[in-house]
Structure 1
């Protein structure tokens, strides 16, 4: 689930009128809120409900929470023990296509109460580590080092995406919030990585991305006059870059061949290209159904 193809760094994709985040407090706050919302989804589940199947083939609710706990543990080690984290990198390199599933399975075997307790303890420790990190610190990851803000953004992206899988499994809707701005930012930021993950050369010029936020305001990235453009609801864009929905089911519009190609390959998560989700109405075991571990379940690396 690792991908280390070198890629260019695109221009700042921050929304118009905003600046690059130097103080990670706001995204860490949002990560805590996102985690607490997912926590409320599972806290009252009965033992049998933890075994419900989720849209990620082969993964139950327990696997989804287990994956979050496992990745939080990895992130905590990166933040507090760089040498120890190197051992995890070596394990990943030794089994790049299975180590994510193995991590989720390790936690999914725990009793639900213990699994939930471990996730809570791990994410609290990670939050403490990120908040106490000296400004400018960069932590090792399964790719380029990450700042505290980037680490928190990656964790929020995964928490939101896996929380959607859990909500689907238990039949509970999850209304979008403005916390999606972090996922959208990451989706834009990883444009060149997505091209590289598919063996494609990234376009030389930045795109314009204009998204309608859950509250109705506009989130815009890139030069206003860029000929290659993507527009649509922010929720749909976030579903696309986390591979939680098929492009055919989303109200996203691409102008220009490069932008159109991007929407076919976009991914904001680490690792090789996932199989994605099939279009609505397609058989669960039909073409396009991804194997487990290939639905955005990577460690959430950001460039």
Structure 2
């Protein structure tokens, strides 16, 4: 089955912009022309390809065509560059918040130094990362799942280590002998998908305390813990300077958690995607540890 490139481009514009009208403005078409292109594509495939919701999204039948459209756009931009055009290659990538706040940052500098790609980052938890890859919404992702999405290749990056910590004042308030009152000391979580703190609590056989604060930003999560709002599990790269300064202290009996990270990317030839993969692998050298991951079932924060 052959597909019309203009129709694929229209499908991609609808899913990225969220509405038919917004896609029409981006493509400099009338909304009627956009609808006609999608209807023609749906008639060709015999499937409904777009959910007419707000925002509009590709259906399961439309996801393979969305992936194809994104790959075609990437390859077209790269071909234009090779022919002397100053085309900018679009690189949608999913990454978790803690990675973006720590080891992933040199990737941003490497992409900036080349100046040939537009990096579009989406913050995503593990389950949604897989959905973004499967649906073709991103070309690559940092994930904690070693199982490759169909059509993708996967490589281990290293281990991000987390440790539970709190302010010394908070630990003093909730001290219980040489430990802390795990059932009462306030807790900070990233969002409802953040189960890292629950892994620590499970080790001590207690549920979440009555006071649970939600702070869905990696930098602000750290600030919340530093302010004494509650204890939280922090990436070691963020935590070490705070321990050295005395602003934070490790929780007594709170062992570290290791999460192994992987890089998944679509399996097709692309010089730009290969450059990005190289950048990620170089930056991920900061994650290399002699220890093996503990396999604690924790998942990445989005």
Range class of TM-score, shorter chain: under 0.3
Which structure has the larger Rg over C-alpha atoms?
Answer: 2
Flag the structure with higher strand content: 2
- TM-score between the two structures when normalised by the length of structure 2: 0.23
TM-score between both structures, scaled by the size of structure 1: 0.23
